Amino acid sequence: MREKSVIHRTIEVAPGVHAPGHLGELTQVVDFQLVDAVLEETGTRERRLRLLPSRVVVYFVLALALFEHCSYRAVWGKLTAALASLPLLQPSLSSLSRARRRIGVAPLRRLFEILAGPVAGQAVPGVFYRGLRVVAIDGTHLHVPDHEAVTWRYPKRGGDQMEYGYPLLRLLVIIECGTRALLAAAFGPDDDGETTYARTLLGALNARMLMLADAGFDAAGFLHDLAATGAQFLVRSSARRCPVIERRLPDGSYLAQIGYGVLPVLLPVRIIEARVTVTLADGTSRSQQWRLITSLLNHTRHPARELVDLYHQRWQAETTYLSLKATMLDGRVLRSRTICGIEQEVYALLTAYQALIHAAADTALTRPGLDMDQISFTVLLQAARDTVTTATQIFPARPVDLIGAIGQAVLNALLPARRRPRIKARTRKNPTSKYRPNAGQHPTTTQTYSFHTHITIFEKGLASRPRC
């Protein structure tokens, strides 16, 4: 006897030609009212109802960011896969391209600005240090198509004789440590330095935040502008800086001033110098000299050793870029071949990422004490993609339940609560990379390690770090 199961499922979508306009369960984060309001605000809402309304096009562009490995038609197929019973059109590739150009950059940029911001409450682990919300800033590059309509703004690297690699777009973000939510982002040509873009992001900071940054952000002028926002900072210093000790403190740090010849009024800071030793599982070890500059001058309330340990949270910015570049983009070059298209695509990528983080934060609220580091971004992304294909929970349930299909998938695949520190194998894979090949400075396999910090003062200055 043949047996079978029959499942009937009710799917709720927008009416008429608006039906393909959704993002699965993420539509509850980027809802219809929000998209319509943004289109109205930016003046990009259609004057007459089209077969591809502007709202549908916005969701299509966001879906392109979730399915970077898929073509236009394949992404449209995923938006309509569960809607086979509806009389929907199948737009051509050129129609979808023209629709993208029609709405432009403005609605995607505004969507990101609205969704960007902290997502964690006071009880979320790993977000706050002594009452200050810990955030980090860093930059990266995205590859854009090698096309003449693009390279005039995003040129390739090279010299007088030759050019090489893909054209590069520089991206800077401020993230919330502990959740990796995006607070603000800026991007543009690689020719402009990181601090140029970073200055445009300082408006996202306030007096209840502590900013972490690497040595590329230790310029006195930038730190002065950062301090003017009221935020505190903890920044790694380059070896070129030679601070003069004004007063030694009991925890091994010392007070100094920076900005000689640069600032009209010197900036008081505290300097923490330490020798950091990393011992790998195979027994090999290496030491580095660290110098941190901070605006937290009270050594009793903010001990030097705590701040050295806290500085490691800066690497969450790198994890954010791993999620964007490796997990979402899968290492691909951006698909757009116009300047407007590239900007629209980047804002869509950032908006889709932030929507995923909002979904993760909502899930974490249902488990008090859950560290969001336990949430796998890969599982989060795949679960969100599945809800797009199945058109699941586009409208919120009644009563509202924070654990939907995405949340359930995430909670079923939590990462270990306490993970051992691991150092990643580091090799140069890109032949056009600015870094030299790994010549023994880094392990060839991922290993666990132990970490030891010795607070000291380098009386003879800081040794230059090798560029590797």
**Domain ranges in the chain?**
10-114+376-414
d(CA 76, CA 64): 9
d(CA 117, CA 361): 12
- Within 13 Å and on the Cβ side, how many CA atoms surround 154? 26
pLDDT at residue 440 in the model: 59
Please list the pLDDT of the chain residue by residue as tens digits (468 residues).
578 888 878 888 999 999 999 999 999 999 999 999 999 999 999 888 888 999 999 999 999 999 999 999 999 999 999 998 898 888 999 999 999 999 999 999 999 999 999 999 888 888 999 999 999 999 999 999 999 899 899 988 766 666 778 899 999 999 999 999 999 999 999 988 899 999 999 999 999 999 999 999 999 999 999 999 999 999 999 888 889 999 999 999 999 999 998 999 999 999 999 998 888 888 888 888 899 999 999 999 999 999 999 999 999 999 999 999 999 999 999 999 999 999 999 999 999 999 999 999 999 999 988 899 999 999 999 999 999 999 999 998 766 666 889 999 999 999 987 766 667 666 665 655 655 565 556 677 777 878 888 998 888 788 776 654
d(CA 392, CA 321): 28
293-298-299 Cα angle (round to 5):
80
Question: How buried is residue 50: exposed, middle or buried, by Cβ count under 10 Å (0-12/13-18/19+)?
Answer: middle
Contacts of 49 (CB under 8 A, 6+ apart): 17
Q: Could you tell me if 82 and 394 are in contact, meaning their C-beta atoms sit under 8 angstroms apart?
A: no
d(CA 19, CA 14): 4
- Count CB-CB contacts under 10 A for residue 365: 16
d(CA 207, CA 200): 17
With H, G, I as helix, E, B as strand and everything else as coil, classify residue 235: strand
Q: Could you tell me if 136 and 316 are in contact, meaning their C-beta atoms sit under 8 angstroms apart?
A: yes
What is residue 130's DSSP assignment? T
Q: Could you tell me if 179 and 127 are in contact, meaning their C-beta atoms sit under 8 angstroms apart?
A: yes
d(CA 59, CA 87): 19
pLDDT at residue 201 in the model: 97
pLDDT at residue 468 in the model: 47
What is residue 323's DSSP assignment? I
d(CA 427, CA 433): 11
